[in-house]
């Protein structure tokens, strides 16, 4: 069973990021011979998706479209009590403190989040025409950094927004369409195996996403999953 610990943070500047706040607290804990707070981080520039925690009940804290590492202390009141928790999901087992195991996302990507077409030197940019709308939607979906905030914010701990984003950025483009149907079936099946919950259209995932990934991608995933399921269930080779 986990428990809450109370730490007093002193010498905090309003220009500090949230992770720098944790650094200051950890420095004091280390000097006192105590275990520092374990938390994930890497680039600290809102790019890598490594950091993440629930702050006062909100994934990545109170600011929209902001990662935890880009959240600054000027957005909190002086002497305010901050309740910090890790992502909570069966699919994200807690390792220690704020660190969770997010390799479930890696396994979902391995199940189908790729194309198997051979690659070589980069082709000429206009060799394959792509509708502007599709290219923009694909780029928007590709902005997903896989931080897991969507899972943490969802009442059902659903990974649908993550899976939908990874699916959309491939299936919207010509290179990803040949494997589109099998991709959606494999990725959704793996998501279910990892223990994530179902989507119930709460839209909390979109609100918490630091890259503002739209829930329209979930609607696209549902359409493509239904289409693929019908196709394979009616195929003579499927045994259906």
* pLDDT tens-digit series, residues 65-110: 999 999 999 999 999 999 999 999 999 999 999 999 999 999 999 9
112 in the same domain as 69: no
The total of structural domains in the chain comes to 2
Dihedral through CA 102, CA 105, CA 107, CA 109, nearest 10? Answer: -150
The answer to whether the Cα torsion of 31, 32, 34, 38 is positive or negative is negative
48 in the same domain as 115: no
Domain residues for the domain of 40 are 18-85
**pLDDT of 4:** 94
* pLDDT band of 240, cuts 50, 70, 90: very low
**213 domain-assigned:** yes
**26 domain-assigned:** yes
Span 12-21, pLDDT tens digits: 999 999 999 9
80 in the same domain as 108: no
**pLDDT of 236:** 61
**pLDDT of 2:** 76
| Whole-number Å distance between alpha carbons of 27 and 201 | 42
231 in the same domain as 120: yes
198 in the same domain as 162: yes
**pLDDT of 235:** 63
**3 domain-assigned:** no
Interval 2-22 mean pLDDT: 95
189 in the same domain as 72: no
**pLDDT of 238:** 46
148 in the same domain as 107: yes
Interval 156-172 mean pLDDT: 98
Pairing status of strand 84-85 against strand 94-96: unpaired
Mean pLDDT across the chain, nearest whole number?
94
**53 domain-assigned:** yes
Q: Is the separation of the CB atoms in 152 and 85 below 8 Å? A: no
Span 110-158, pLDDT tens digits: 999 999 977 777 777 778 889 999 999 999 999 999 999 999 999 999 9
- pLDDT at residue 239 is higher than 60: no
For residue 7, give every residue at least 6 positions away whose Cβ sits within 8 Å of its Cβ, in sequence order, or none: 25, 29, 37
128 in the same domain as 230: yes
**6 domain-assigned:** no
- pLDDT at residue 48 is higher than 60: yes
**199 domain-assigned:** yes
| Whole-number Å distance between alpha carbons of 240 and 237 | 8
Q: Which helix (H) or strand (E) covers residue 2, if one does?
A: none
213 in the same domain as 144: yes
80 in the same domain as 26: yes
Radius of gyration (C-alpha) of the chain in whole angstroms: 20
107 in the same domain as 223: yes
| Whole-number Å distance between alpha carbons of 15 and 87 | 25
Q: Which of 13, 172, 209, 195 is nearest to 105 (CA)?
A: 195
Least confident piece of the model among 74-78, 185-189, 235-239: 235-239
Interval 210-230 mean pLDDT: 97
234 in the same domain as 198: yes
What is this structure's pTM? 0.93
| Whole-number Å distance between alpha carbons of 57 and 2 | 17
- pLDDT at residue 45 is higher than 70: yes
Strand residue runs (E) in 12-166:
54-55, 58-59, 84-85, 94-96, 99-100
């Amino acid at each position: 069973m986990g428990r809450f610990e109370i730490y007093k943070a002193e010498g905090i500047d309003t220009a500090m990021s949230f992770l720098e706040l944790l650094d200051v607290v950890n420095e004091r804990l280390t000097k006192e011979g105590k275990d520092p707070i374990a938390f994930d981080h890497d680039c600290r520039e809102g790019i890598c998706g490594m950091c993440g925690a629930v702050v006062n009940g909100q994934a990545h804290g109170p600011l929209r479209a902001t990662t935890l590492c880009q959240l600054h202390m000027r957005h909190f009141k002086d002497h305010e009590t901050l309740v910090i928790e890790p992502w909570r999901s069966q699919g994200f087992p807690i390792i220690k403190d704020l660190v969770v195991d997010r390799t479930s996302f890696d396994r979902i990507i391995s199940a189908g989040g790729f194309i198997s077409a051979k690659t070589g030197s980069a082709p000429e940019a206009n060799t394959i025409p792509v509708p502007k709308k599709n290219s923009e939607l694909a780029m928007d979906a590709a902005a997903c950094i896989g931080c897991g905030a969507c899972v943490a914010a969802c009442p059902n701990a659903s990974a649908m927004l993550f899976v939908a984003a990874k699916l959309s950025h491939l299936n919207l483009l010509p290179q990803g369409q040949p494997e589109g149907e099998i991709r959606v079936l494999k990725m959704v099946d793996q998501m279910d195996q990892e223990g994530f919950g179902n989507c119930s259209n709460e839209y909390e995932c979109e609100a918490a996403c630091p890259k503002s990934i739209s829930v329209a991608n979930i609607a696209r995933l549902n359409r493509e999953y239904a289409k693929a399921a019908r196709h394979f269930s009616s195929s003579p080779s499927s045994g259906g």
